[in-house]
Amino acid sequence: MTAVEEFFAMGGHAAFVWPALGLTAVTMVVMLVWSIWSARDKDRALEASRGRNAAGAEAER
Amino acid sequence: MHRFANPTRFLRFCQAVLPWAAVACVLTLGVGVIWFLFYVPADYQQGDTVRIMYVHVPAAWMALALYTCVAAGSVSALVWRHPLGEILAKAAAPIGCMFTALALVTGSLWGKPMWGTYWVWDARLTSVLVLFFLYLGYIALHHAFDNPDRGARAASILAIVGFINVPIIKFSVDWWNTLHQPASVVRMDGPTIHASMLWPLLIMGIGFGFYALVVLIYRVRAEIADRKLRRLEVARVDAAERSRGSVGTVTGS
């Protein structure tokens, strides 16, 4: 076995090690991306809402 | 603490911290991952499955640390009515929930080759499963009421009552006869784990901590924006009702 093959084989436990590490990485990335998207989305909605409120106040005057 | 009672000022502080936390996260996780993947030797008993430890243990540490944040935030919200307490707690909960799930799943994947089973109802695994349900319950309660403040209060009470589970989890391996191994890092007599494994483990733990901080900052930002949005909606509805009322009296009389 080459060193690379040995690395991926993880001593015969590849079926457990790689899913564990992979799932951890994917889940953490998804959580990060979702949180960033959510913050930007809420900020945008807030700007839009402030715009609407300002327009409404203008219309009343 | 009182300096940060103003959410906008707290947000400015968060935005200042964010780039440093992000860089620290990338550096520590980068070093840690390369270290445990390529430079830590295989364990003489566990072989290469020991590499799972380098995500399983930091995830478990984060699960407990974040629940402590949720409980502490809930206490400050309920007892001192500090506006940030609830915001921090609500923002931290999903992150802690994720880490609890990861600890459980990676632990299972480690247990099958090492113990011969994916699951056992021993004190450590059972109490961490309870922690997972406490997180889910906390998040669910926030969304369970029409009035979000009532949901927040109910969730805060659950978080505080559930905190007893944290020392139970920590000492479960001492108080009960568990399949899960006893503590090898945070012990009265110091760590029993060899330095060649301890250092990458600590670096991964710190890396997970910076990661949690980065995600927490984004979630706090979203939560504060959400609350401002709700207040603006209320203000707009109020203004609309007032203008309708004045039109009504002019035409009615």
pLDDT digits (tens, 9 = 90+) for B165-188: 999 999 999 999 899 998 889 888
Cross-chain CB nearest to B218 (options A19, A39, A53): A39
pLDDT, mean over chain B: 92
Stronger pLDDT, B12 or B247, i.e. the higher one: B12
CB contact under 8 A, B235 and A53: yes
Q: How far is CA B127 from the centre of its chain?
A: 16
- Residue in this structure with the two tokens 């799930």, named with its chain if needed: B101
Average pLDDT of span B3-24: 91
Chain A interface mutation, best of B232, B241, B246, B247, highest count of A Cβ atoms under 10 Å = B232
Task: Dump pLDDT digits (tens) for B57-114.
Answer: 999 999 999 999 999 999 999 999 988 999 999 999 999 999 999 999 999 999 999 9
Cross-chain CB nearest to A13 (options B113, B215, B239): B113
Q: Provide the pLDDT for residue B253.
A: 46
Residue B153 has pLDDT above 50, yes or no: yes
Cross-chain CB nearest to A36 (options B48, B105, B218): B218
Report the number of secondary-structure helices (H) and strands (E) in chain B: 7, 0
Contacts of A11 in chain B (CB under 8 A): 42, 47-49
Q: What is the nearest CA distance from B188 to chain A, expressed in angstroms?
A: 30
Encode burial over B216-253: b for 16+ CB neighbours within 10 A, e otherwise.
bbbbbbbbbbbbbbeebeeeeeeeeeeeeeeeeeeeee
Whether A44 contacts chain B with CB within 8 A: no
Give the number of residues written for chain B: 253
Supply the ipTM of this predicted assembly. Answer: 0.91
Q: Which of B209, B174, B116, B175 is nearest to B184 (CA)?
A: B174
* Token pair belonging to B72: 């502490």
pTM of the predicted structure, to 2 decimals: 0.92
Bridge partner list, B43: B47
Angle between helices B123-142 and B83-115 (to 10 degrees): 150
Whether B211 contacts chain A with CB within 8 A: yes
Residue B162 has pLDDT above 60, yes or no: yes
Q: Provide the pLDDT for residue B190.
A: 85
Task: Compute CA distances B148 → A13, B13, B44, B143, whole Å.
Answer: 47, 26, 53, 7
Q: Provide the pLDDT for residue B246.
A: 61
Q: What is the nearest CA distance from A32 to chain B, expressed in angstroms?
A: 6
Whether B83 contacts chain A with CB within 8 A: no
In whole angstroms, give the CA distance from residue A43 to residue A37.
10
Q: What is the nearest CA distance from B34 to chain A, expressed in angstroms?
A: 13
Residue A52 has pLDDT above 60, yes or no: yes
* Token pair belonging to B233: 């909606």
Whether A49 contacts chain B with CB within 8 A: yes
